[in-house]
Amino acid sequence: MTTLEQKLHFDTIIERVEKARLRVNDHHIVKIVAASKYVDAEAIKSLYEIGQRAFGENKVQDLMSKSEALDALPIEWHFIGTLQKNKINHLLSVRPHLLHSIDSIELAHALNERLERDNMTLRALVQVNSAYEESKSGFLPEVFHENYTRILEECPRLHLQGIMSIGAHVDDPKIVAKSFEITRQIFDSLPGATICSMGMSSDFELAIECGSNMVRLGSVLFPKA
């Protein structure tokens, strides 16, 4: 794909996000995080050069290697995958802008302990399994609020910004929408929360219409990946 073709493709995605955003209201702002797990540093650089600034990786090792390769660019790095406790040190060495996926009290405590040791803080989201699917990580909706509150109280080094979820893995848009609506309802009840991260390449327009203000787009931004 040439630079011009990539720019035109990128603009069509921006337009789709804009149309979905406006269906909510004129003031609803949506941030795009480019999920770059299947592409190399050169592809990230190409998308950066046409205007994308936030990129998200699913594996800590990939985040480390790509951020190092692109160190000259002021990229806003997000970690959007499931974080294993034995990877915490490596993750924090990158100093990511945002961690999307705190999915247990144990992980929150482990992060807080490591952050305390180095006198650091980390912006983070807590993951909810609003689709009630065994394959997904995160707290179930019924226990989300109490665990979010626990993390706020017990892990002061984690600066919680809000919530993250993955839409239901089904073809019925009504069921997918229901999972997004559950996430949004919880988001609205969280004190001081500003980020509702939900929606990926296959369902981002629906997620935005249900209240998402941050979408994680991979294959739709990197069509040849």
For the chain, give every domain's residue range.
Answer: 3-217
Token digits of residue 193? 């929360």
Torsions phi, psi for 132 (to 5 deg): 55, 45
Rounded average pLDDT over 42-61? 97
| Neighbouring residues of 10: CB distance < 8 A, sequence distance ≥ 6 | 47, 50, 51, 52, 221
Region class of 33: left (phi > 0), else alpha (psi between -120 and 50), else beta:
beta
C-alpha span between 225 and 222 (Å, rounded): 5
Residue-level pLDDT at 92: 97
Residue-level pLDDT at 53: 97
Rounded average pLDDT over 142-158? 98
213: DSSP letter:
S
* pTM (global) more than 0.85: yes
Rounded average pLDDT over 45-72? 97
Report in angstroms the alpha-carbon separations of 41 from 70, 97, 215. 7, 18, 21
Q: Which amino acid is at 212?
A: S
Report CA 93 to chain centroid distance, whole Å. 19
Residue-level pLDDT at 225: 47
Confidence of residue 170 (pLDDT cuts 50, 70, 90): very high
**pLDDT cut 90: percent of the chain above it:** 94
CATH architecture for the domain at 3-217 = Alpha-Beta Barrel (3.20)
Rounded average pLDDT over 196-221? 97
Report in angstroms the alpha-carbon separations of 170 from 201, 202, 203. 14, 11, 11
* Cβ atoms 153, 145 nearer than 8 A: no
Collapsed DSSP state (helix, strand, coil) of residue 154: helix
Task: State pLDDT tens for residues 80-102.
Answer: 999 999 999 999 999 999 999 99
If you write DSSP's letter for every residue of 61-126 in order, what string do you get?
Answer: HHHHHHHHHTTTS--EEEE-SPPPGGGHHHHHHH--SEEEEE--HHHHHHHHHHHHHTT--EEEEE
H/E stretch holding 31: strand 31-35
Residue 120 neighbours by CB distance under 10 Å: 12
